Amino acid sequence: MTDRLYYHDSFLYNFDAEVRSVIETPRPAVILDRTAFYPTSGSQIHDTGSLISADAKHRVTEVADTEDGHIVHYLEAPLKDVKPGTRIRGEIDPARRRDHMQQHSAQHVLSAAFVRLFNMPTVSFHMADDYCSIDLDTPSLTKDQIESAERLANEVIIENRIVDIRFVTRAEAETLGLRKLPPTERDQLRLIDIHDFDLTACGGTHVSTTGHIGAILLRKSEKVRHGYRVEFVAGQRAVATARRDFSTLTETTALFSTQLYDVPQQARKSLDEIRSLRKQLEQSQDELASAQAATLIAETPETNGRKLIVRTFSDPHSGRDLNFLKLLAQKITRQSTAIALLAADSPQPALVFAQSAGQPHDMGKLLKETLAKLGGRGGGSKDLAQGGAPTAEGLTAALTAAAQSLTA
Ligand SMILES: [Zn+2]
């Protein structure tokens, strides 16, 4: 078994060790007699760093536990100059380790705060590269509860309480009222003791006083299958996240030409305006379609007991999109006995074919045939069909051909 130096000292960043075995496939790796590198386990992600031999420095990219208690250091490139027995020096990336200690200790403080305030136990902890989350076993979680837990957790940080590592037997642990007792069969348990606040079994790396955590910022909370998930960031991550939030808000503030805390009010006002303008636009479009339908009906002579209205709209600023064409076609075919073959070449080339109820043609079929020539797609019923073409090229000619097929 590898001697886990981090069990006793989370601040040990450099150490000497002896190579036990060298692995070449599937990935180059090495096992040492002792290590301060933390392997991915118990929700905490692994350290990175370097292993230094007499001749070279080797980058450690991943660290993992084996089932038989060894720790495997995966390397960027194969080791050429070492074999079992070679002395080697290990160096852990301090910034990454410090970040992991801050997040993991923050999790203990936060989980204890939720238990103390609301009796909500943490059922799982997830550590990612940019944020962490805990899952709370609770049927409900309010904004006030989140803020209270965040406040208590930060008070515990400001009080700079001692964080001790203790080893006890399982029988002893059962008498200590731990927040969480792991289901393992091991006789010895490692406890993380946040003075007078939290005592729990854990194998992770932790700060030595809560002040090292810096700060905890709670973020998103969401309902999950067995309770609530709460995302949080601690230490430098909290500062980096608050900085990013502030930049985003500042950018939004400039867009609305307002003050930082007035952004929601301004956004709401703008949305209300958009909704009201959209309604006005719909009404104007309806009026415009009615007027245009009346004009087209009036200027088109009747042949064979119905009017055949064929029109392509080309003005890109007229707002005559597919929806408008549909509205216009419906009005034409309801206000008179007619067939309407309409197209617009912008914003997107669009076609709408419609006939009044009782007319004998099949608009869906006719549209499909017309679009086949244009390379477009669409369809519809016997009386109303719509579709789009990839370009406006040939649109008017295709419309004319469709009209001719109806009179042939
Ligand atoms: Zn832990």
Each residue of 9-47: pLDDT tens digit? 999 999 999 999 999 888 999 999 999 999 998 889 999
How many angstroms separate the first and last alpha carbons of the chain?
91
| Type of residue found at 117 | L
Which of 101, 136, 108, 119 minimizes the C-alpha distance to 11? 101
Ligand 1 is an ion; residues with CB less than 5 A from it: 202, 204
Distance (angstroms) between ligand 1 centre and the Cα of 50 equals 25
In order of 147, 172, 179, 260, the CA distances from 175 in angstroms are: 32, 5, 12, 52
Average pLDDT for 133-139 = 97
Distance (angstroms) between ligand 1 centre and the Cα of 106 equals 9
Distance (angstroms) between ligand 1 centre and the Cα of 180 equals 10
CA distance 308 to 296: 10
Q: Is the pLDDT of residue 348 over 90?
A: no
Distance (angstroms) between ligand 1 centre and the Cα of 204 equals 5
Give the three-class secondary structure for 283.
helix
pLDDT digits (tens, 9 = 90+) for 279-300: 999 999 999 999 999 999 999 9
Distance (angstroms) between ligand 1 centre and the Cα of 199 equals 10
Indicate the pTM of the whole model: 0.78
Distance (angstroms) between ligand 1 centre and the Cα of 232 equals 15
Identify the bridge partners of residue 69 per DSSP, sorted by sequence position.
none
Distance (angstroms) between ligand 1 centre and the Cα of 144 equals 26
Distance (angstroms) between ligand 1 centre and the Cα of 156 equals 17
- State how beta strands 306-313 and 338-344 pair: parallel
CA distance 107 to 391: 57
Contacts of 37 (CB under 8 A, 6+ apart): 6, 46, 47, 49, 60, 63, 71, 73, 90, 92
Could you tell me the two tokens for 225? Answer: 């299958």
Kindly list the strands in the beta sheet with 216-224, ordered across the sheet, starting from the edge strand earlier in the chain: 122-127, 132-136, 227-234, 216-224
pLDDT at 78: 83
Q: Is the pLDDT of residue 317 over 80?
A: no
Distance (angstroms) between ligand 1 centre and the Cα of 116 equals 17
Could you tell me the two tokens for 230? Answer: 């709460």
Angle between helices 395-407 and 363-374 (to 10 degrees): 140
Could you tell me the two tokens for 272? Answer: 């209300």
Distance (angstroms) between ligand 1 centre and the Cα of 229 equals 17
pLDDT confidence band for 174 (50 / 70 / 90): confident
Average pLDDT for 366-384 = 93
Give the three-class secondary structure for 209.
strand
Q: Is the pLDDT of residue 186 over 80?
A: no
pLDDT at 407: 81
Distance (angstroms) between ligand 1 centre and the Cα of 343 equals 66
Distance (angstroms) between ligand 1 centre and the Cα of 166 equals 13
pLDDT at 89: 96
Give percent above pLDDT 90 in the chain: 80
Distance (angstroms) between ligand 1 centre and the Cα of 202 equals 4
pLDDT at 185: 72
Distance (angstroms) between ligand 1 centre and the Cα of 23 equals 30
Distance (angstroms) between ligand 1 centre and the Cα of 189 equals 12
Contact present, 279 and 273 (Cβ < 8 Å) = no
Could you tell me the two tokens for 91? Answer: 């160096």
pLDDT-wise least confident of 14-18, 144-148, 343-347:
343-347
Contact present, 329 and 384 (Cβ < 8 Å) = yes
